[in-house]
């Protein structure tokens, strides 16, 4: 008698355990509570199960699956926009970016991985950090440095200022066509008026 009681699903049983027990036949899907069934529906749906597969696996009709998914969606409606929600989502975003970055860096240092895989991991880690910085800039957490430099540059320029050409000589090079008379090659670069 105690064995049959322990075989019954309980509210505290983890969803993946329930699914495993249904797969191996140690539990009947018909004995699941509605809450347990809906937890299984969410888990299996995220694994790519169609409505038909869910119905077959849980021994219920597709209409019941549709009702379950409708109820799940109704419960999972998004919170209204608020500063608190925004801060929580940004915090979650930053946490996951840290986790993924650390994983990539750890993989890039794994000596058992191929050099190509390690290079790809290191490159992706750098790209992830770059994307994170860009996202933080777009959300106002970091200054828009390029914008502030351009604004300062334009503010400092006078209306009549013209770009200057600066001649740069590299001493010790042979005199050839395009070089100056003293033997150095010449390079020219156009600088804005406010650069000395």
- Phi, psi (deg, nearest 5) at residue 55: -60, -45
Tokens of 124: 């992706």
* Rounded CA separation 21/23 (Å): 5
Angstrom distance (rounded) from CA 49 to CA 180: 76
Q: What is the pLDDT of residues 88-138, one digit of tens each?
A: 989 999 999 999 999 999 999 999 999 999 999 999 999 999 999 999 888
Cβ 7 vs Cβ 18: under 8 Å: no
pLDDT tens sequence across 45-102: 989 999 999 999 999 999 999 999 999 998 888 778 888 988 998 999 999 999 999 9
Tell whether pTM > 0.85. no
Q: Is 157 left (phi over 0), alpha (psi -120 to 50) or beta?
A: beta
Q: What is the reported pLDDT for 146? A: 57
Q: What are phi and psi of 170, to 5 degrees?
A: -110, 105
């Amino acid at each position: 008698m105690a064995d049959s009681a322990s075989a019954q699903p309980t509210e505290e049983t983890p969803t993946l355990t329930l699914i495993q027990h249904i797969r191996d036949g140690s539990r009947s899907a018909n004995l699941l509570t509605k809450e347990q069934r809906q937890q299984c529906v969410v888990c299996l749906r995220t694994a790519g199960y169609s409505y038909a597969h869910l119905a077959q696996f849980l021994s219920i009709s597709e209409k019941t699956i549709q009702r379950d998914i409708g109820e799940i969606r109704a419960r999972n409606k998004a919170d209204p926009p608020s500063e608190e929600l925004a801060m929580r989502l940004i915090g979650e975003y930053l946490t996951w970016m840290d986790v993924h970055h650390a994983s990539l860096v750890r993989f890039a240092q794994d000596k058992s991985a191929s050099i190509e895989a390690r290079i790809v991991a290191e490159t992706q880690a750098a790209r992830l950090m770059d994307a994170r910085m860009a996202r933080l800039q777009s959300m106002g957490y970091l200054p828009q440095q390029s914008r502030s430099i351009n604004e300062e540059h334009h503010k400092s320029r006078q209306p009549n200022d013209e770009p200057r050409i600066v001649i740069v000589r590299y001493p010790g090079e042979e005199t050839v066509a395009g070089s100056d008379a003293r033997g150095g090659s010449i390079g020219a670069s156009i600088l804005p008026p406010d650069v000395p």
